[in-house]
Amino acid sequence: MSETAVSETVPVEAGAYRAAMARLASAVHLVTTDGPGGRAGFTASAVCSVTDAPPTLLVCVNRGSSAHAALSRNDSLCVNTLSAEQQPVAEAFAGGVPMAERFAAARWREEAGSAPVLAGALVAFRCRIASRASVGTHDVLFCEVTGLVGPDEADALVYADRGYHPLPRRRPPTAKSRPLRALKAV
């Protein structure tokens, strides 16, 4: 660890917080939605599992983002987790591009009125938005998982240090290799 002193200034400066958060690796997701609020999608890293009873994940979305208006009126979304070869799709959905152009950059398994499922994703979680919480500039969407597509055996895409990295698929250990202790869900 660097010799940086513990900063007890409240609040921590936003730029310092973002620089610290940039060191955290995460999966890369396309969050898509469709319904009365229209079709929208964005690249997201702020997604995590909450519980498996019932299967529930959460998605954080900026209330100022172009996708928020659609998400505020729709009751479903799909979290499409990207494979290593889908970096161009992540870039198309990362901002500044009109929605129609974003969706033209990838192939979809469309179903009328439901959140688009991305072809070639590592895994896709079809969700119903069960509840919402507002925290600062963002909404946290708690989503019950109503359907799964995959998982696929492709390599994963990881975002860290403000760039994309491929993460090769780990194969299950053979009988000869010592199994790693699994990270226990707490």
Give yes or no for a contact between 105 and 92, defined as CB atoms under 8 angstroms apart.
Answer: yes
Q: Please, what is the minimum distance in Å from the beta carbon of residue 179 to a copy of itself?
A: 9
Q: Which is nearer to a copy of itself, 104 or 131 (CB)?
A: 131
Binding mask 7-26 toward a copy of itself (x if CB under 8 A, else -) reads xxxxxx-x-xxxxxxxxxxx
Given 33, 42, 77, 115, the residue binding a copy of itself (CB under 8 A): 42
The smaller minimum CB distance to a copy of itself, of residues 36 and 184, is found at: 184
Residue 106's closest CA among 133, 138, 82, 127? 82
b or e along 123-137 (b: 16 or more beta carbons within 10 Å of the residue's beta carbon)?
bbbbbebeeeeeeee
Strand spans (E) along 107-162: 108-109, 117-118, 123-135, 138-149, 156-160
- Interface residue with a copy of itself among 69, 101, 113, 147 (CB under 8 A) is 147
How far apart CA 134 and CA 13 sit, in angstroms, is: 21
74-93: contacts with a copy of itself (CB under 8 A)? 81, 90-91
Select the residue interacting with a copy of itself from 77, 122, 129, 141 (CB under 8 A).
122
